[in-house]
Chains A and B, each alone.
Chain A
């Protein structure tokens, strides 16, 4: 088997056993990037020091020194997460030349586990979008069909894992930005509980919704990454001291007796027929695995998209105020201060970002605050209450991740609202702060991956990962590779 067919946990085992050298492993993936990324455009920048780091790890292993639990494993990081000394652009012209002087907490943790960051992945500008088309560095292409989008905003991370340009990747999810591209690219993506993974070093889109998480082929790999990146961080005030139960050790526990809720009113007109069929098939698999399927209600879920598209732009309008041309950003000169501000922000931000800044600024303005931000916050509490009620009756909630498989590049360019509405199944988990995972459960007739979403109680990532892992034990969708030049060789 070639490296591209191996899961991260197996790669780590081989590295630890001395069957594989970190340098060879890193070189292998760098070569794959070199060969295929021109067509996919998953990466914004490639690390110049990855091989050096791999060399150091090989030396340490050879010398019998202790190494971290991911020693030598290449990993790709979404470009909205700060890596010291490595360009970090958030997909924006505004930060084209920005190199952070510090590591995000999760980067620090990955580095101390001796993982090797091989590159930074493409994304919608400031994580605003569902297609990775809103990147200053050009769109990323779906590895299953290059005329289609990989989803977004973590499209680069999803595409690089799907095409095995990296074994695993890190993304961030504000309204579905890990799960939706995972679904479009046929991989597994976990949005953890709000507060379980530190946001320190994640370039903020909407601070109360943003969460960093793993994007991998399998649930087991996600569990492995969670064991490294999750945990309390004193530098993030919203980071939780509540400990996530160990995600790895419980994976093999069977699902007998687990109660899975299905919310039937989510299976409505907007849902693609093929997607619905695959979700139903997957539901049957969970039944066979011993789960009890129950109908549940989420009465306010229909208001989630509306609430999300008020709260997220409001926070974004303030979070993006710092990109003003004064310090580390792009600067377009002007005759006076105000003109410099106007020129810089007018030229430095893309249209989608500007649109959301305007929406948020408007909604926070005096006289509108109560009608928009405050109202949306109330809806948010009701949505959370719905989940609290539902989780009295069930352990997990199952449904589609997205209404349709991946759409074509440019398909929604003229209709942002249609793109917003496609977030209907994912935004609720962000509003409620609960964990949710997308797992591949099939393909459409034209060969596009379809994803299923499981949502769980806060800090019960272990249950989500266990259910996903048990499902993957008896299915092969996560192992299916696109019939493309980057197809994995077994």
Chain B
């Protein structure tokens, strides 16, 4: 028994380990997020960054690595990186430089990637996130650094198994990427997802990136391991880097899977962080599992050294101040504004803010116009967002201006329209791009005369004596049935007014 312990690199399942529950383990997660910056041209040349153009049409001597061609930094990319750093509470480097990361790959034309090694443009910062499972509780995730680098090209391998040549598209080569690296502060898959959602929202708000994940404009690697209590001490499982996650769902699911896998592996062989090298794994969406890609982390020596073709960049205090001054309100502040000034509850505020700057602006204008933020929130949060989703439009494309929408809400607030008729009017307005008044006319909505309403109620009471008895017996809900019948007879009848009148007449 002792012999086998000494000779074997892994320990056979022990009762100690088997006694530990998965829920006792703490999941340690750090993320590396690659964000494509929203620049018109590439990081070191003037080529367009437009997605989806004909292969190799967006290239020049610089980004194809022709002999003698030289890089020149894109100032816009620097500015967007500084802006992101400020939004993530990072310290901004006063001097930042470029390093070459050397490795051979066919879609890397120079044989090295221009990146930043020891002087990244953004230093330590943090991002506060709220996890849906624990509303109201903020978690601070520390940012280690964010550095600027150029993207590689795209290799298209023959998957027909006919052994055809691989193809290379260099359109993406040289596109500016900001790599944001967190500290291992994330503890659950849901937190990882929440971090990414908040990050994406911020990047959208500050116009740094559209974060289009289908186009690969936001990609993520997750470093995952477990801290497991064992007796009076704690062990850590070997760190695994899950590469190239391109959806929130794959981030969440791969981490969940990986944590479970590591726990089971540890229970089985007992290997800890000191026994095994860092592993690189990929997420197989089809199998819903992570799969081994590379065992030994130290097989990659990138031989970083300062790129002699580029000079160090000095960032002046005044430049940082200028960018800071131009920075728009961030989601956190906006949520606070919606809660404090507009008296929305935190969930509603978060829902509005999560829709982006345009929806927040739309909401504020309508809420200010109708002086009732609760109604504005109900109508925008439900009707407008539903319509946008159905028509696959952005708020900027929505046919009704905030002013037109305010007009409608004012009619609801003053009782001219009830909720149901109000919604009919809204649909009519959207469909024909017309004002509330025009929609009301087209729908033939007009106020109902008091006497007309009285005779309608009398008729209902006569014809529905059983219901009336139920109401008299204390079943208040039964009145809804009568209101429904009333509206079938006259759709313009205001349900509130009918209810009041019926109650009065029945109780008499």
Contacts and interface: CB of A to CB of B under 8 A. Distances in A.
A104 interface: yes
Contacts of B72: 234-237
A125 B229 CA distance: 62
A321 B111 contact: yes
Interface of chain B: mostly helix, strand, loop or mixed:
loop
A366 B303 contact: yes
- Give chain A's interface secondary structure class: loop
Contacts of B110: 321-322
A337 B166 CA distance: 10
A304 to B, nearest CB: 18
Given A322-B110, A326-B168, A328-B66, A373 B305 contact: yes
A341 interface: yes
B216 interface: no
A314 interface: yes
Contacts of A317: 102, 303
B60 to A, nearest CB: 9
A427 interface: no
A350 B61 CA distance: 25
Given A81-B68, A200-B68, A321-B112, A364 B305 contact: yes
Contacts of A234: 72
Interface in B161-185: 168
Contact of B102 (A100, A203, A321, A337): A321
Interface in A291-328: 314-315, 317-318, 320-322, 324, 326-328
B305 A318 contact: yes
A165 interface: no
A134 B64 CA distance: 27
A69 to B, nearest CB: 25
B103 to A, nearest CB: 9
Interface string B35-75: 00000000000000000000000000100111111111100
A369 B69 CA distance: 26
B424 interface: no
A208 B311 CA distance: 10
A361 B303 contact: yes
A249 B168 CA distance: 53
B303 A365 contact: yes
Contact of A366 (B67, B68, B301, B310): B301
A318 B70 contact: no
B135 interface: no
B104 A341 contact: yes
A321 B113 CA distance: 11
A422 interface: no
B142 interface: no
B111 A236 contact: no
B111 A104 contact: no
Contacts of A237: 70-73, 309-311
B172 to A, nearest CB: 16
A202 interface: yes
A109 to B, nearest CB: 15
Given A102-B69, A326-B168, 20 more contacts: A95-B67, A102-B61, A203-B67, A203-B68, A207-B308, A234-B72, A235-B70, A236-B72, A237-B70, A237-B71, A238-B310, A317-B102, A318-B112, A322-B65, A322-B110, A327-B65, A364-B303, A364-B305, A366-B303, A369-B305
Interface of B: 61, 64-73, 100, 102, 104, 106, 109-112, 168, 301, 303-305, 308-311
- 8 closest Cβ pairs, A-B complex: A321-B111, A208-B308, A207-B308, A364-B303, A203-B67, A201-B68, A322-B65, A82-B68
17 contacts: A82-B67, A88-B67, A95-B67, A100-B67, A102-B66, A204-B68, A207-B308, A207-B309, A235-B72, A237-B71, A314-B305, A315-B305, A321-B110, A328-B67, A364-B304, A365-B301, A366-B301
